[in-house]
Amino acid sequence: MARTKRDRLITRRIARWIDGRVGTAKFARSALGKVFPNHWSFLLGEIALYAFVVLVLTGTYLTFFFDASSREVVYQGVYTPLRGVTMSEAYRSAIDLSFEVRAGLVMRQIHHWAALLFIAAIVVHMMRIFFTGAFRRPREINWMVGVTLLILSIFNGFAGYSLLDDQLSGTGLRIAYSIALSIPIGGTWVASLLFGGEFPGADIIGRLYVIHILLIPAAIIGLLGAHLAILVRQKHTQFRGLGRTEDNVVGERVWPSFAFKSVGLMLLTTAVLSALGGLAQINPVWLYGPFRPAEVSSASQPDWFMGWLDGALRLFPGWEIRAFGFEVPAPFFPAVALAGLTFALLYLWPFIEARFTGDYEVHHLLDRPRDRPRRTAIGVGAFTFYAMLTLSASSDVTATTFGLSVNSVVWSLRILTLVAPFVSGVIAYRLCRELLQREAGTVVAYEPSGDSLIE
Amino acid sequence: MTAPDPQVPIPTSAAEDDAHGRAERAAIGRRRERFAALSFAVSVVAAIGLGVVYWRGGQPQLEGVFLALGFGGLGVGFIVWAKHFMPHEEVTEERHSLASTDEEMTLFREEFERGEQVLERRGLLLKAAGAALAALGAALIFPIRSLGPRPGKGLKSTPFRAGVRLVTEANEPIKPADLVTGGVLTVFPEDHTNAADASTVLIRPGTAVKPRPGRETWTPDGVVAYSKLCTHVGCPVGLYQAEEHLLLCPCHQSTFDVLDGARPVFGPAARSLPQLPLGIDADGYFVSLGDFSGPTGAGFWDRDR
Amino acid sequence: MSPPRRRRAARGLTRFGPLIVVVVSVLAIVVDHQLRASAAPSAARSANAPSAAGPVEAGRELFVVGCSGCHGLDGTGLRAADGSVLGPSLTASGEAAAYFYLSTGRMPLANPTKPPVRKDPVYTAEQIDDLVSFVGSLGDGPAIPQVQPAAGDLAAGGEIYRSQCAACHSATGAGGALSYGRAAPSLSEATPLQVATAVRIGPDQMPAFGDDAISADQLNSLARYIEYLHHPDNRGGVDLGGLGPVPEGLLIWMVGIGGIIALCVWIAYKPRRREARATR
């Protein structure tokens, strides 16, 4: 093989050294040559991926300083409004991170903003997949992997902000305990095994720590790997267009264009998260105080991704089922049953839709949302429902901000949450049909010569 | 010579593709290249800034801004590079059938079944191994039992007993005069100020409480005591509205009528707050006459049993 | 403007037009609400000539002009023709209550059908002193408590605040919702004396805390901590109103996801031109 001067570069020599031992050239050639279609909505999943990378990096840094222990200590650090106050080691280490570890606060805040962004990105990515029908055969497995990733990320987010043992997250843990209690038959066991006894116990922080830094991240990394591997194996979907068929994928190669764009997006995502982490205060636990079981603050909300559950808890009336001395407490329905139903429907959606449309074919070409008015209407309606629930979690803050009665706000939201999904679904349906009708008889594609294809 | 910028319009006719057009496109390309280089330069400056800020003791806003500029500069530079200076011709890659060919499936099935048949020749071993795996699997679940104690009477009782004094957070007993009209206090059983299930609100509403049947003696001196744990999902019901005699839970806005046995009048709570029977001991301090009228906190399956 | 620019501008307007309308409407509602809250009867601004008599007498004159319409000429309260209370009796209110309501501008009531809210005080400090003296002379109500924030312990004040006050006023002092349209107000403008008087009298929906619930020392510490909450340590950046996860969630969706999606559109944007094609 003729050696050029370039081949003596250290990078080239290392590459050849590795290849001589494991034979990477063939794989690398195939990987770097892969074609990815170019559309902004195909980058949404990447936002989630890069937010996760930021989470792991900042999270690792935080683990070097955080102490997940419930042992009580008296604070004697720099922040005077808490001097002499009794608190757990966990809370104390969070205060130290925020006040005494250099760059500790910015790392903590970037980590928390990244968690909020991670789940938001998963949700918009999932909506893109839904509205373009990318979950259809052969991608049902990847859809289910994705839903699992959503569930895991929500759990991990909840576990993460509960670690700090502050008043706000401790209130949330109490609610989680009570929701576990509400499970029929075995609820008291679930709650006791989770918390190591009655609330609050001394075990929950330590257990959440292991779950948060090891168990769920490991599961997420594994599932992410599967998610990407399946995507690479099946190749990305694409929108209809010139030269695009069910048997090809048209776009640009990984090397160098797509790789640089992806790395660029990763860097920009990190940049946005860094800006948020330094400029926008999030979760100022030193103002909330350490957790005390008998205390609470108004304006107690969970982070946004738990909002739909909290909103459901606020709206659902006190309807319990009591019989033969047993009861199914009211919170079971808006918390456990709703969550179970939500995720079950999400998991099953590809199969439900296939059953209804009778379409079991392989699809690599995407629908535009307007191409499937019914699916789009259902998606818009469902999104409206969960958005209304999330909004409902802010009922008291909304009431005070706009000078309204919180009771009226709750009643209005109860009605709106049931009505708005249908209204928005119908509007979406009509809009799709309208757009389709307008297209019939107009230009949809162009030839290279500039002549148009009329459909 | 630099590669043609794919984002710059390709000339449609010979007239466009003249020296002026080419010079214009080259100028646009150079401007973009300078912009990308400037982005990278911003990144360098930001990185230096970050080092300086850290060395000088750190400051969250500066750290965030420099991190953002550092990463952002790199990111913008890479993307401008990719958008304007990398090939954009569309490449087509053929898809191949994802499923295995019939031949591969047949081969796999034959080889696998050959192995399976070897196993099935030893039926006894197969069944015994299955039993062992199942038994071991079941046994390995047992350590989960150690995660927590059997949920027992603890859920249905608190440290309040007949004669136990009520105390503040500072473990100090309370006399009726300590509570002014329209006043509220959070209290606990004596020596159990950490009991998370026993936090109690002590209220002097200033208006007569309408007692539930059997609770006529529970409110000495016009003072009433209810469990502070919301019967919805257990948040402390910390808001007392003195004019309307309502206890409001901030979590999900369950509202309880203090004058009517803490009956829920709004919100998702289904049960009244359990009431604590109050008495006054020989020294004039508040004591409980027994445990609460029901289990405190959120409901559970066998709460009523 | 060149035609393409004009077209882009027009497109931008149609895209953002509805959003602009919504934002302006919301702003209008908020501004109107604020204006109404600070509206005050025009009566008492016209300063009375300083009286040569003592504070109680000066207070009585002010009272007759500005307060007797609801509270009666002698402060014993007035009922309307149908028996409903126009203004309650002030004989048991004491100086503390008078000081609280007048210095926070809650009285005179701007809108008698709505609960009192803080607004700019109608009376000057001297006038308030006079009125306070007068109301205090009506009966045996609580005197204005002594409060010295500097003598208080900040950390102890924080503990008291979180255990007694945060449930209604929120951990950051931003205030919170009560039932049926009432709200525990924000404490951002509460002076130590206003805090002390409110704690002792329990105005409106607020419960009252006597000396045995919150001692004089504890009151000093509490006032000191609430002063701290006026300018708390917000080293993390902009505090988004001190309302917790709600504004944080709004921000991540608008700036975080919204911003990054905008970046994605930029990254993937290709002007619609002829594309050369190559086959692998």
Q: Six-digit token pair at B272?
A: 């009244």
Query: Looking at the predicted structure, is the pLDDT value of residue C41 above 70?
Result: no
**Do the Cβ atoms of A2 and A217 come closer than 8 Å?**
no
Same domain membership, residue A259 and residue A211: yes
Whether residues A185 and B301 touch (CB distance < 8 A) is answered with yes
pLDDT recorded at residue B213 = 95
Q: Which residues of A are less than 8 Å from B252 in CB distance?
A: 310, 313-314
Query: pLDDT, tens digit, for every residue of C269-279?
Result: 887 654 444 43
Question: Which of C236 and C25 is assigned the larger pLDDT?
Answer: C236
**How many CB atoms sit inside 10 A of residue C88's CB?**
15
A-C contacts at Cβ under 8 angstroms: 209
Rounded average pLDDT per 10-residue block, chain A, 455 residues: 78 90 89 91 97 98 97 97 98 97 97 98 98 96 98 98 97 97 96 96 96 98 97 94 91 90 97 98 97 96 97 97 94 97 98 96 95 97 98 96 95 97 97 92 55 47
A164 in reach of chain C (CB within 8 A): no
Q: Looking at the domain assignment, is residue C23 inside a domain?
A: no
Q: Which of B222-231, C61-70, C106-115, C257-266 comes out lowest in average pLDDT?
A: C106-115
Cβ-proximal residues to A14 (8 Å cutoff; 6+ apart), any chain = none
- Residues facing C78 on adjacent strands: C87
Q: Which of C141, C171, C206 is the last residue of a domain?
A: C141
Q: Which two tokens stand for residue C240?
A: 């988004």
CA proximity to C196, closest of C170, C174, C214, C176? C214
Q: Which helix (H) or strand (E) is B201 found in, with range? A: strand B200-204
User: C199 vs chain B: nearest CA distance in angstroms?
Assistant: 10
Closest-CA residue in chain C for A293?
A: C163
Q: How far is A206 from chain C (nearest CA, A)?
A: 24
Greater confidence (C65 vs A7) lies with C65
Comparing CB atoms, the residue among B91, B155, B188 nearest residue A252 is B91
CA distance A292 to B235: 11
Interatomic CA distance for residues B38 and B30, integer angstroms: 12
Measured in angstroms, the CA of B162 and the nearest CA of chain C are apart by: 24
Q: Which residues contact B72 (CB under 8 A, 6 or more apart)?
A: A267, A268, A271, A272, A275, B39, B42, B43
- Give me the amino acid identity at A397: V
Question: What string of H, E and C letters represents the secondary structure of chain A?
Answer: CCCCHHHHCHHHHHHHHHHHHHCCHHHHHHHHHCEECCCHHHHHHHHHHHHHHHHHHHHHHHHCCCCCCCCEEECCCCCHHHCCCEEEHHHHHHHHHHHCCCCHHHHHHHHHHHHHHHHHHHHHHHHHHHHCCCCCCCCHHHHHHHHHHHHHHHHHHHHHHHCCCEHHHHHHHHHHHHHHHCCCCCHHHHHHHHHCCCCCCCCHHHHHHHHHHHHHHHHHHHHHHHHHHHHHHHCCCEECCCCCCCCEEEEEEHHHHHHHHHHHHHHHHHHHHHHHHHHECCCCHHHHCECCCCCCCCCCCCCHHHHHHHHHHHHCCCCCEEECCEEECCCHHHHHHHHHHHHHHHHHHHHHHHHHHCCCCCCCEECCHHHCHHHHHHHHHHHHHHHHHHHHCCHHHHHHHHCCCHHHHHHHHHHHHHHHHHHHHHHHHHHHHHHHHHHCCCEEEECCCCCEEEC
- With bands split at pLDDT 50, 70 and 90, how would you rate the model's confidence at C42? very low
Judgement on whether residues C157 and C181 belong to the same structural domain of the protein: yes
In the complex, which subunits touch C with 3 or more CB pairs below 8 angstroms?
A: A, B
Q: How far apart are CA C157 and CA C160, in angstroms?
A: 5
Among the three residues C109, C141, C173, which one is the final residue of a domain in this structure? C141
Looking at the complex, report in whole angstroms how far the Cα of residue B42 sits from the nearest Cα belonging to chain C.
19
Structure tokens at B239: 């808001």
Which of C190, C212, C232 marks a domain boundary? C232
Cα A5 to Cα A2, A9, A256: the distances in Å are: 10, 8, 22
Token code pair at residue A68? 């997940």
Q: Which chains touch B (3 or more CB pairs under 8 A)?
A: A, C
CATH class of B166-288: mainly beta
C198 and C214 in a single domain? The answer is: yes
In a domain, C43, yes or no: no
Q: How far apart are the first and last CA of chain C?
A: 45
Q: Is C278 close to B60, i.e. CB distance below 8 A?
A: no
Asked if C267 lies within 8 A of A265 by C-beta distance, the reply is yes
DSSP string, B236-277: B--EEETTTTEEE-TTT--EEEGGGTTEEEESS--SPPPBPP
Q: What per-residue confidence (pLDDT) applies to C221?
A: 98
Contact A299 C170 (CB under 8 A): yes
Cα separation, B84 vs A261, whole angstroms = 11
CA distance C23 to chain A (A): 14
CATH code, domain with A116: 1.20.810.10
C177 vs A: CB within 8 A: yes
Mark A317-352 as b/e (b = at least 16 C-beta within 10 Å): ebebeeeeeebbbbbbbbbbbbbeebeeebbebbee
Check whether residue A329 and residue A196 sit in a common domain: yes
Q: How many CB atoms lie within 10 A of CB B23?
A: 10
Closest residue to B302, CB basis, from A33, A249, A326: A326
Instruction: Provide the 3-class DSSP secondary structure of residue B92.
Output: strand
Confirm or reject contact between C267 and chain B (CB < 8 A). yes
Residue A267 lies in a domain: yes
Rounded to whole angstroms, the Cα distance separating A47 from A265 reads 7
C5 touches chain B (CB under 8 A): no
pLDDT averaged over every residue in chain C: 86
Domain around A209? 39-287+325-342
Q: In percent, how much of chain B has pLDDT > 70?
A: 94
Q: Say if A25 falls within a structural domain.
A: no
Which chain B residues contact residue C210 at CB under 8 A?
178-180, 183
How do residues B243-290 score in pLDDT, each as one tens digit? 999 999 999 999 999 999 999 999 999 999 999 999 999 999 999 999
- A15, part of any domain: no
Q: Which residues contact residue C100 at a Cβ distance below 8 angstroms, ignoring those fewer than 6 apart?
A: C106, C194, C197, C198, C201, C203
Which residues have CB under 8 Å from C11's CB, separation 6+?
none
Domain assignment of residue A297, yes or no: no
Q: Residue C198's domain is classified under what CATH number?
A: 1.10.760.10
Nearest-angstrom CA–CA distance, B7 and A455: 29
The region that residue B173 occupies, defined by phi over 0 for left and psi between -120 and 50 for alpha, beta otherwise, is beta
Cα gap C183→B184, rounded to integer Å: 18
pLDDT confidence of residue A223? 98
Backbone φ, ψ for residue A239 (5° rounding): -75, 160
- Same domain (yes/no): A239, A384: no
| Residue C1 binned pLDDT confidence (cut-offs 50, 70, 90) | low
Q: Give the structural domain span for C177.
A: 145-232
Strands, sheet with B246-248, edge to edge from the N-terminal-most edge strand: B239-241, B246-248, B255-257, B263-266
* List of chain A residues whose C-beta atoms are within 8 Å of the C-beta of residue B305: 325-326
Query: A221: how many CB neighbours lie within 10 A of its CB?
Result: 12
What is residue B3's predicted lDDT score, i.e. its pLDDT? Answer: 53
Q: Provide the shortest C-alpha distance from residue A122 to chain C (in Å).
A: 10
Q: CA A154 to CA A174: how far, in whole Å?
A: 18
Q: What is the pLDDT of residues B106-151, one digit of tens each?
A: 999 999 999 999 888 888 999 999 999 999 999 999 999 999 999 9
Q: Are A134 and A237 a contacting pair, CB within 8 Å?
A: yes
- Banded pLDDT at B1 (limits 50, 70, 90): very low
Q: How many domains does chain C have?
A: 2
**ipTM tops the 0.85 cut:** yes
Three-state SS letters, C18-77: HHHHHHHHHHHHHHHHHHHHCCCCCHHHCCCCCCCCCHHHHHHHHHHHHCHHHHCCCCCC
Same domain membership, residue A373 and residue A336: no
Q: How far apart, in whole angstroms, are the C-alpha atoms of residue B130 and residue B139? A: 14
Classify each residue of C219-249 as buried b or exposed e, where b means 16 or more C-beta atoms within 10 Å of its C-beta: bbbbbbbbbbbeebbebbbebbebbbbbbbb
CB nearest to C280's CB, from B79, B92, B238: B92
Residue closest to B198 by CA, chosen among A101, A171, A293: A293
Alpha helices in chain B (DSSP H): 19-55, 60-85, 102-120, 123-141
Assigned domain for C264 exists: no
Q: What is the pLDDT of residue B153?
A: 87
* Of A256 and B203, more confident: B203
Mean pLDDT of chain B: 92
Touching check for C3 and chain B: CB below 8 Å? no
How many CA atoms within 13 Å lie on the side-chain side of B223? Answer: 30
Counting Cα atoms < 13 Å in the Cβ hemisphere of A196 gives 10
User: Which residues in B have their CB inside 8 Å of a CB on C?
Assistant: 7, 9-10, 60-61, 64, 79, 82-83, 88-94, 169, 174-175, 177-186, 203, 236, 238-244, 246, 248, 250, 253, 255, 266
* A300 to C244: CB separation less than 8 angstroms, yes or no: yes
Unique residue bearing structure tokens 């005050």: C40
Overall domain count for chain A: 2
The confidence score (pLDDT) of residue A448 equals 53
What is the model's pLDDT at position C276? 44
Closest-CA distance, B181 to chain C, in angstroms, reads 7
pLDDT for the residue numbered B41: 97
Interface contact C177, partner B, CB < 8 A: yes
| Single-letter amino acid code for the residue at B185 | L
**Residue B66 · residue A208 · CB < 8 Å:** no
pLDDT at C49 over 50: no
Closest CA to A286 of A105, A115, A72: A105
Which chains border A (3 or more CB–CB pairs < 8 Å)? B, C
Of the candidates B79, B93, B179, the beta carbon closest to that of C280 is on B93
> Is the pLDDT higher at A449 or at B87?
B87
Residue C194 has pLDDT above 60, yes or no: yes
CA distance C74 to chain A (A): 35
Given a contact cutoff of 8 angstroms between Cβ atoms, the answer to whether A199 and A175 are in contact is no
Is there a domain that residue A403 lies in? yes
Give the predicted TM-score (pTM) of the model.
0.91
- Shared domain for A80 and A117, answered yes or no, is yes
Q: Is residue C128 part of a domain?
A: yes
pLDDT score recorded for residue B121: 87
Task: Tell me which chain A residues have a C-beta less than 8 angstroms from the C-beta of B304.
Answer: 322, 325-327
Q: Are residues C134 and C193 in the same domain?
A: no
| Nearest residue, CB atoms, A187 vs list B63, B147, B301 | B301
- Residue C198: enclosing H or E segment and its boundaries? helix C192-201
Rounded Cα distance, B227 and A379, in Å: 44
Match 């207070």 to its residue by tokens.
Answer: C59
Residue among B94, B252, B254 whose CB faces A248 most closely: B94
- Confidence at residue A1, expressed as pLDDT on a 0 to 100 scale: 57
